[in-house]
Amino acid sequence: MRAALFARDPLCARCRELGLVVLATQRDHVTPLEEGGADDATNEQGLCDDCHREKSLGEALRGRRRARLAR
């Protein structure tokens, strides 16, 4: 799935939104699996390492907030 994604769209989706041209290095789920996202091509995007790290941090923080609210 990763190879197919990068063959179809080799650039980082978030950088492209900012007008930057940066190669994607990470296959990312737009909606995280933990939040109900599908593990298929309809829910994937390529991100560079920096954008993936930033997005993953935000997802981890949301998960911690959800866990606290569930108590």
2-59: per-residue pLDDT in tens? 999 999 999 999 999 999 999 999 999 999 998 999 999 999 999 999 999 999 999 9
User: What is the spatial distance between Cα 67 and Cα 30, in angstroms, rounded to a whole number?
Assistant: 21
User: What is the spatial distance between Cα 28 and Cα 46, in angstroms, rounded to a whole number?
Assistant: 6
User: What is the spatial distance between Cα 29 and Cα 19, in angstroms, rounded to a whole number?
Assistant: 21
Query: Taking 90 as the threshold, does the pLDDT of residue 71 lie above it?
Result: no
Total number of domains in the chain: 1
**Global confidence as pTM:** 0.89
Residue ranges making up the domain that contains 55: 2-70
pLDDT confidence of 66, banded at 50, 70, 90?
Answer: confident
